[in-house]
A and B are shown apart, each in its own frame.
Chain A
Amino acid sequence: KAGVTQTPRYLIKTRGQQVTLSCSPISGHRSVSWYQQTPGQGLQFLFEYFSETQRNKGNFPGRFSGRQFSNSRSEMNVSTLELGDSALYLCASSTEAGGLNEQYFGPGTRLTVT
């Protein structure tokens, strides 16, 4: 069974631009969560989607948004990029009944904002 895939793996953007990241979950997984990893803050929860609906949301500004498609693929969008948005963005998928321990992470997208 293929793992969680994220595209692109690396991205360089300039301040003020917007960016869209993509995540394809493991086949059969309907929940997709997004995390931001920075050296000083560790992994911070952005949001979780299940059946095309945002089910949980972390404490991030409205510039961070996401969506999920009917095939469970998910995209995350960041508008008006700031230097502090430079981070590794990880997505994780799990089954409908999956708890935190059943999350499977992708390799991440490394975003650099200049």
Chain B
Amino acid sequence: DQQVKQNSPSLSVQEGRISILNCDYTNSMFDYFLWYKKYPAEGPTFLISISSIKDKNEDGRFTVFLNKSAKHLSLHIVPSQPGDSAVYFCAASAGNQFYFGTGTSLTVIP
């Protein structure tokens, strides 16, 4: 049973525009959410996180939004750059249990 879902396997965006990656979860006990970025042949690297007590966290071009009532998480990248092309995983934790989504492959077109 997939508790964290990324329903869009891929996304293409023009350079300079906004990229919006979405993530849904089912477990209301999740209290911490993260986004990881993964390039081919490399392990995932941490990008940004948000606690369940917040609804927004911003770090430079990256902003994560959390809608607890909808159990929905999104990552906004503005402006998108070609170097942002990678697979993005959302993750959620409740205590010591970790759950990752299936990933969304983002392609930023120059």
Show the binding face of A for B, using Cβ within 8 Å.
Answer: 4, 33, 35, 39-45, 48, 55-56, 90, 92, 99-108
Contact = CB atoms under 8 A, between A and B. Distances in A.
A4 B54 CA distance: 31
A45 B6 contact: no
A32 to B, nearest CB: 13
B34 A101 contact: yes
A105 B32 contact: no
B44 to A, nearest CB: 5
Nearest to B42: A107
Given A40-B102, A41-B102, A42-B89, A101 B97 contact: no
Contacts of A41: 2, 102
B43 A101 contact: no
Contact of B32 (A48, A56, A99): A99
Contacts of A55: 96
Interface residues of B, number: 24
Interface string B35-53: 0100001111110010000
Interface of B: 2, 4, 6, 32, 34, 36, 41-46, 49, 89, 91, 93, 96-103
Contacts of B2: 41-42
Contacts of A42: 2, 4, 6, 89, 100-103
Given A90-B43, A102-B46, A44 B34 contact: no
Given A41-B102, A42-B103, A45-B98, A108 B93 contact: no
Contact of B89 (A43, A48, A99, A101): A43
B66 to A, nearest CB: 15
A101 B41 CA distance: 20
Contact of A56 (B42, B44, B46, B96): B96
18 contacts: A39-B102, A41-B2, A42-B2, A42-B4, A42-B103, A43-B91, A43-B100, A90-B43, A90-B44, A99-B32, A99-B93, A100-B32, A100-B49, A103-B46, A104-B45, A105-B43, A105-B45, A107-B41
